[in-house]
Structure 1
Amino acid sequence: MSERRLITGPTFEEMLHPNLIDPGIRAKAHEAKTSDPLDSINLYNISWRDMNNQIQYVVLPPELTGVDTPIAVLTSVHFPSGSHKVGATYSVLIEKELFGDVDPWKHTLVWPSTGNYGIGGAYVAGRMGCNSLVILPEEMSQERFDKIEAYGAQVIKTPGCESNVKEIYDKTHELRESDPDIRIMNQFEEMGNYRFHYYVTGNTIVDLAKELAAQGIGSGKVSAFTSAMGSAGTIAAGDRIKQEWPDHKIVGLEPIQCPTLALNGYGGHDIQGIGDKHVTWIHHVKNTDAMMCIDDIETKLALQIFADEGGRQALVEDFGIDPALVDIFAHRFGISSICNIFGAIKAVKHYGFGPDDLVVTIATDGMDRYPSVMEAMRQTYGVVDRTEAIARVRSLFHGLRTDWVFDGTADNRERWHNLKYYTWVEQQGKTVDELEAQRCDEWWEAEQTRVGEIDAKLREYRQSQQG
């Protein structure tokens, strides 16, 4: 690796507890968030917590969910680039730089993505001095392409929609073979993605449960964590939560239109960010308690309630929801956020949770990713007025069905694991022995403990650069 100075950011521990960051650096990062959002100091803003060390979340009112179990939603629009995926891309890249797998002055980074990971990769790589290519299906929202290019990366569009990951892989193979200085930052197999969510997201949720209990919300534990899988990075938080509470339920979500784990299914869908027609390498499926499927058009119909004035008016005037909370929903929720919320409601109903339980999920991005999608919805379904909003809340939220639920029986978990073979052994060069090793908790625990090793490596590098 070149002797030149790497541009670095926080350790895992500092992303979890940003109050541990040097106060001077943290103050500069906080100021740059608005004054100079493209400055590399913003890497120190990668955290679920704000400048006051407060976790960014909302608790959904029962008037919206139709259930009496509290559902807490971590929100990620405050992250650099507007999504928590920036944490995963930073964790992948800093690890590779520290251990010499990536030379930022030599290598071109390729970020295979269906959206937020590519945006996060473009943002992080640009701040860390790397050249980047982002591979993205051509049918993703225009806002995604605009953000990637604004962060200084090039975009390669591949055929298809959200679930067309095979076409992305084909392009990465082509690029790798064409240039020895290409480095593929594959979110679907890079364990840095897993580690960010296992350690930072998972421990944040453990802390949140205790914080909410102090407010009289829940009993101090998390009964279930729901997350749709794109790369299956976010759902790794469930592995940490289950270590805290062994009876905790990890619930994965897929589109009905592409039920890969649920039914060995395939197909196109429009819950952007999830459901990619394969089981990712970093998904600990043997630890998953259920797969539930969500309809893609219902997620967009629900999001439009928050996007249109008539919908927001109905939430306030007809359902009695605090206007300030409605404004937060309208800003901090995107399509996959609604999918995750639907999954949380479905989990409450499926498991029979009550008011002392707590379900946690994630809002992976915000409305800023979807103005073009919402405009297309208006063209097709009309603008949402109060009457339509009332009907949609009652049918989509309150009336959410408990169909399309597949429990994590021993047989199902075995099948989910075996599905990895077809992508990772036949296509991506993994061995059967590597696949077999993932059956054991020890394999995953070894990857989890590398958090400490990587943090120590980063601290050692920082110390070497002092003076």
Structure 2
Amino acid sequence: MDQLGMSPEVVDEKTLASAVDVLREIGVGLPTLSQLANPATIPQRQRDALKGVSPDEPNAANLWRVHWYNDAARTGLADTPGYLVLPEALTGVKARIIVALGNRFPMIGAHKVLAAYGCLVPRLVTGQFNPRAHKAVWPSTGNYCRGGVAISRILGCRGIAVLPAGMSQERFDWLEHWVSDLTDIVRTPGTESNVKEIYDECAALSTVPDNVILNQFSEFSNYIVHYHCTGQAMDHIFRDVQSKTPGLRLSAFVSATGSAGTIAAGDYLKQQHGARIAAVEATECPTMLSNGYGEHNIQGIGDKHIPLIHNVMNTDVAIGVSDRGSDSLNLLFNSAAGRRYLIERQKLDPALVDALANIGISGCANIIAAIKMAKHFDLDERHAVLTVATDGSAMYGSEREHFEQRHYPGKFDEVNAGEVFSRHLQGVQDDHLIELTYAERKRIFNLGYYTWVEQQGINVEQFDMRKDQAFWEGLQASVPAWDRMIEAFNERTGAVQQ
């Protein structure tokens, strides 16, 4: 799909030369995708340059931390990506629910900075983006645009964040601290599921020649970086758990769709383990389940359309989760009453309860969906369900306050905590879950036509190409070509020394 910038060849040598000059001047080297998939291969000089660099500062060295292998302090390298294994005492199911922790990523405390890097770098190395002349526009429901602004700042260019006005206050606080100009924060109408309004704003911004739209929902580099980097990280996590539980099988990978970047890891895990791929959405906006629409608050999983980069025909299950459940768990895991209830009444390990703060709202939704998956398929202690916490609870303090004021106007107490625990963990049912037949996959696939062909102008033949798994296998096989282009770019800048 050359029109989406996915051909690993130079498009404009003049622009490429300008980009090389900029990165040479500011001394920025670019990690390859394979180095981010396996950080042990990062050159020692680049690792040494990280010493003394805060993971939260706009320092070029932090590009070498854009991977799953940061330790809990986010400063060192871990042997295995961070994860939690949730016990039956919490989930109510015997299957091991494994949660990968995305809040160890640098600068934004969320793994969407990996997607942002993956989307911009192909433009740089093919001569389609000049940091000195272009502005990077990052359409998002929150974390992706934060990642984009962080990457933009490191590369010395303007980054424009486009996101719904109804997102958490913490997102806007972060953006106001990082952007070079407050006008680079563009608030669109609505909340999490108002993606169409984001596209409309980007269409207007695209009329300015210097603006380059990096649409995570349609940039296939988002798929590639998650297939290659997140897929291998998830595989490593599972094998680490399996080494302590011989005979354990990976039954499913569960992921809220959002831009459908993260769920690309499911394609890798299906190839390696035969795992089912389950796509999660809000029951308040059941697009996959019933062609539905509506508003919801599972921040980070925008709805009402099917992302172009979602490999729908390889998806096995669609699961709906109510935002009441994810908001409730966000409060349970992060309130004094909730933590006290889990430790004193349910006798959960205090260390585990403390670690639940690493799970944000969409991660809570993924956990509920993983429980549904385990119950529906009668999974027991021989099976594992792997899912992701894109970010931690730090981004959602204001959301907890609003939710508590709305639903627990007196105060959220231990009785309320018990009700949440019983209803949204132990009492989860396998409702709003569909095992996708071929016909149902086609129905979901066809929904994308109205967004991408009718509204966004994608060629219908290119749209239909995505039905065939050979298309996705071609993307998967393109990583070495992209790595060679990144290496060639670095050779010209001289910014990466072995």
TM-score of the pair, normalised by structure 2 = 0.90
Q: How does 1:352-363 map to 2 (within 5 A)?
A: 352-363=378-389
Q: Deviation string for 1:308-353 (max 9, x for gaps)?
A: 10110111111111111111112x1111010000111110011111
Deviation readout 1:198-242 (Å, 9 max, x if unpaired): 1111111112221111112x6354210001111011111001111
* Counterparts of 1:367 and 1:361, CA distance in 2: 16
Q: What residue number does 2:189 align with? A: 159
Q: Return closer, same or farther for 1:220/1:17 CA change in 2, 3 Å cut-off.
A: farther
Are 1:450 and 2:478 an aligned pair?
Answer: yes
Alignment of 1:319 with 2:339, yes or no, is no
The answer to whether the aligner puts 1:70 opposite 2:96 as a matched pair is yes
1:235 aligns with 2:263: yes
Partner of 1:37: 57
Secondary structure (helix, strand or coil) at the match of 1:32 reads: coil
For residues 356 and 367 of structure 1, what CA distance do their matches in structure 2 show? 30
Q: What value does the CA root-mean-square deviation take over the aligned residues?
A: 1.4
Q: 2:448 aligns with which of 420, 443, 446?
A: 420
Q: Take 1:32 and 1:338, find their aligned partners in 2: how far apart are those partners?
A: 31
Kept in 1: contact 2:284–2:294 (CA 8 A): yes
Q: Does 1:4 align with 2:21?
A: yes
Stretch of structure 1 that moved more, 184-193 or 375-384: 375-384
Residue 407 of structure 1 corresponds to 435
**Does the CA contact (< 8 Å) of 1:61 and 1:70 recur in 2?**
yes
Conserved? CA contact 2:325–2:424, under 8 Å? yes
188-197 or 454-463, which deviates more:
454-463
Q: CA deviation at 1:276?
A: 1.8
Alpha-carbon distance between aligned partners in 1 of 2:249 and 2:128, rounded to the nearest angstrom: 39
CA deviation after TM superposition for structure 1 residue 5, in Å: 4.0
Shift of 1:67: 0.6
Match of 1:346 among 357, 369, 372: 372
Q: Do the aligned residues in 2 keep the contact of 1:139 with 1:160 (CA within 8 Å)?
A: yes
Paired with 1:208 and 1:245, the residues of 2 have a C-alpha distance of 13
1:464 is displaced (CA, Å) by 2.9
Q: Which runs of 5 or more structure 2 residues have no equivalent in the other structure?
A: 1-14, 71-76
Cα deviation digits, residues 125-172 of structure 1 (max 9, x gap): 111111011111111111111112222252111111111111111111
> Which whole-Å CA distance do the structure 1 matches of 2:117 and 2:291 have between them?
32
What are the Cα deviations for residues 238-274 of structure 1, in whole angstroms up to 9, with x where unaligned?
A: 011111123x110001100001111000111111111
How many residues were matched structurally?
A: 462
- Please point out which of 300, 303, 318 is paired with 2:330: 303
Q: Which residue of structure 1 aligns with residue 170 of structure 2?
A: 143
Q: Which has the higher contact order (CA 8 A, sep 6+)?
A: 2
| Equivalent in the alignment of 1:287 | 314
Aligned to 1:333: 359
Alpha-carbon distance in 1 for matches of 2:145, 2:467: 30
- What residue in structure 1 maps to residue 35 of structure 2? 14
CA distance in 1: counterparts of 2:326 and 2:360, whole angstroms: 9
> Which residue identity is paired with 1:235?
I
In structure 2, the residue matched to 1:187 is 216
Query: Is the 1:48–1:56 contact (alpha carbons within 8 Å) kept by the matching residues of 2?
Result: yes
Match of 1:26 among 38, 47, 59: 47
Contact 1:210/1:220 (8 A) holds in 2: no
The amino acid that maps onto 2:360 is G
Structure 1 alignment gaps of length 5 or more: none
On the 8 A contact 1:17/1:53 being kept in 2, the answer is no
Residue pair 1:219, 1:358 contacting (<8 A) in 2 also: no
Distance 2:491 2:364 in 1: 44
Give 3-state SS (helix, strand or coil) of 1:415's partner: helix
Partner-residue secondary structure (3-state), 1:293: strand
1:413-467 CA-partner distances (Å, limit 9, x unpaired): 1111111110010011111111121111111111111111111111122223339
Specify the code of the residue in structure 1 equivalent to 2:154. Answer: R
